[in-house]
Structure 1
Amino acid sequence: MKCPVCNNEVSSQPYKEWKFNIYHVKRYRCEKCGANFNVYEYNGMEKYTIPRRL
């Protein structure tokens, strides 16, 4: 998994997971730039979002 902000490799384990409507959401944190980003998964497709920076 790569950070969408700085393209740094992040941990493959999310630090938080939950269900949101039809999506399975995983939140990751980049240790290099401090960005938190979510990965929304549905039927094998992924969509990244960047909710905030630390």
Structure 2
Amino acid sequence: MGGGPAALRENKGFLSAQGLHASMMQRGIRIGLTTVYRALSAADRRGGSKQSTHAAA
């Protein structure tokens, strides 16, 4: 996912998985929306996301 980090850096503030997917597709990066969700979920579990999308239990 070489262009994913660039797509994230260019977007200030909240970016949905759909928005990230659209940004990557515009850059010519062919990736499925499910793959974007999985990558964001993995980053969240590792503590690599800026903000968790999971509600506190």
Could you state the TM-score of these two structures normalised by the residue count of structure 2? Answer: 0.30
Could you state the TM-score of these two structures normalised by the residue count of structure 1? Answer: 0.31
Rg (Cα) greater in structure: 2
